[in-house]
Amino acid sequence: MKLIILAGGGGTRLFPLSRTCLPKQFLKLGDSDSLLTQTVKRFLPLIKPADIVVVTNKEYIHHVKTELAACGASSAHVLLEPVARNTAPAIALAARFCETELGAAAGEVLFVSPADHIIHPVDIFIKNVRQAVDLAAQEKVVTLGIKPDKPETGYGYIQAGRTFGSGYQVDSFREKPDKATAEDYLAAGNYYWNSGMFAFTAGCIMEELCEHAPEIYQLVSAPLPEVIEHFADMPAISIDYAVAEKSARVVMAPLTAYWNDIGSWDAIYDVLAKDHSGNALKGDCLPIDCVNTLMLGKSRLIAGIGLEDVLVVETDDVIVVAKRGESQKVKDVVAELKERGRREVDEHTTMYRPWGSYTVLGEGTGYKMKKIVVMPGQQLSLQLHYHRSEHWIVIGGTAKVTIGEQEQMVHVNESVYIPPSTKHRLANPGRMPLEIIEVQNGSYLEEDDIVRFDDVYGRT
């Protein structure tokens, strides 16, 4: 079996915690591991890391590689989508990669999983996956469905038909319903939530693409370099629309483990531990006479008084307050902010880079202050800026600094000055994180004022 993990989405439904620069698959929500790391670990009892393909985009490659290394799966493959084209082209590209690069035969099963779901316990999940793989080996397109326990309007539904082995024939797929329709589905008893997980053989998915999505099949049948070169020509369509809803070979395997796609702040409230009043609290929170309320703080004290069924999410630069049950409308907030050109849609005050991170501490006309953290053994590119100078003050660790042709070691409580238009580089030769305060001065302080001459991460 080969495992395909889809980790390229830039989800907005968990704004302000999830943003374009750090979508939800990389978030740690009530757990020490990110959702992507949890996904990889779930499958490790079943599959070797070398048989895992993580599909993402170039903006997230360093996040993915860091997390794979941290969970002992460095030998997993990272496949980059040239552009975002929804799940059908992503899966087709990954299936082609499995064929040409990993030697997957036509009869080998490919299991597809999103990177950002919570599922437990693992032993039951593994049992369900094995059942799905057995069904897929019979040349079926298998989707995993979850028996609903409430009339949820945020999920698509699968209508189950007659029994087929350990699963069911699929009679139809249904869009996200309104409340009344969801209640009808719940009462009917043969409707399941669509988990977004699939299993099929490499040959089966190619045959189904050929029949139902020939525009994708034609492009993906070429040699892999050509597939990547022409990937942008593929239609942006989900695997559900492209194949599952049209195929006569679709069966559903029930997923009996707990499942949550973490698609809203209401879903986050559901999975977090509650106090005796039903409040889910994370961070520095003080609830007084609050009931069934989520408070999620990062850097400041959140004090709530007399709140009931309210969601409060705080980050360094954004606070979102909503009624429980209304959090699906967060996407409307993001759409409005995007329309206004607000940077908060894409950026956190802390931004992660392959060498570490930086946090904007303050800014104003002609100046910006950052805290920069460089991980052990890492270095920034050799670069220059035309419109700003920089002062670096070391507050932790030891820096190796290149300015022009000169190289020097800079220790705690020492500083250096980099004039405009001067080549420079910052490196951490030590065994502990390097922390510096950077003060920028100049007429233009945006991140695109940079010329890279040499970069170990290939960004020149």
Least-confidence region, from 97-101, 154-158, 248-252: 154-158
Q: What is the pLDDT of residues 267-306, one digit of tens each?
A: 899 989 999 999 999 999 999 999 999 999 988 999 999 9
Residue 217 confidence (pLDDT) above 90: yes
Res. 9 pLDDT band, cuts 50 70 90: confident
Q: Is the pLDDT of residue 460 over 80?
A: no
Strands 310-314 and 294-296: parallel
Sheet bearing 406-410, strands edge to edge: 406-410, 399-403, 424-427, 382-384, 451-454
- pLDDT-based confidence at 132, cuts 50/70/90? very high
Whether the ω angle into residue 121 lies within 30 degrees of 0, i.e. cis, is: yes
Secondary structure (3-state) at 356:
strand
pLDDT at 263: 86
- How many whole angstroms separate alpha carbon 439 and alpha carbon 436? 10
Looking up tokens 């239609």 gives 235
What's the N-to-C CA distance of the chain in angstroms?
A: 37
* Residues 9, 22: Cα–Cα separation, whole Å: 10
Give the pLDDT confidence of 382-418 residue by residue, as tens digits: 999 999 999 999 999 999 999 999 999 999 999 999 9
Is the backbone peptide bond immediately before 16 cis, with ω within 30 degrees of 0? Answer: yes
pLDDT digits (tens, 9 = 90+) for 112-128: 999 999 999 999 999 99
- Residue with the two structure tokens 């028996």: 147
Percent of the chain with pLDDT over 70: 100
Q: What does the pLDDT read at residue 12? A: 80
Q: Six-digit token pair at 252?
A: 């559903």
Whether 29 has a pLDDT exceeding 90, the answer reads no
- The angle formed by the CA atoms of residues 359, 60 and 333, to the nearest 5 degrees, is 70
For 338-361, give one letter per residue: b (16+ CB within 10 A) or e.
Answer: eeeeeebbebbbbbbbbbbbbebe
Of 219, 218, 216, nearest to 239 by C-alpha is: 216
Residues 344, 450: Cα–Cα separation, whole Å: 22
* Token digits of residue 393: 């003050």
Residues paired with 36 in a beta bridge: none
**Which pLDDT value is given to residue 31?**
66
pLDDT of residue 302: 97
Measured CA to CA in angstroms, residue 206 lies from 51, 87, 139 at distances of 19, 15, 11
Distance, in Å, from the CA atom of 80 to the CA atom of 54, rounded to the nearest integer, reads 8
> What are the CA-CA distances from residue 266 to residues 150, 204, 252 (Å)?
13, 37, 27
Residue 233 neighbours by CB distance under 10 Å: 13
pLDDT at 235: 95
pLDDT digits 0-9 by tens, 361-387: 999 999 999 999 999 999 999 999 999
Read off the DSSP letter of residue 346.
T
Return the minimum-mean-pLDDT range out of 138-142, 318-322, 327-331: 327-331
Report the side by side order of strands in the sheet with 367-374. Answer: 350-353, 356-364, 367-374, 434-442, 388-396, 415-418
Query: DSSP of 121-161, one letter per residue?
Result: -HHHHHHHHHHHHHHHTTT-EEEEEE--SS--SSS-EEEEE
Q: In the numeric block, which tokens belong to residue 164?
A: 């087929």
Edge to edge, the sheet with strand 310-314 lists 280-282, 294-296, 310-314, 319-323
Per-residue pLDDT for 442 more than 90?
Answer: yes
pLDDT band at 189 (very low <50, low <70, confident <90, very high): very high
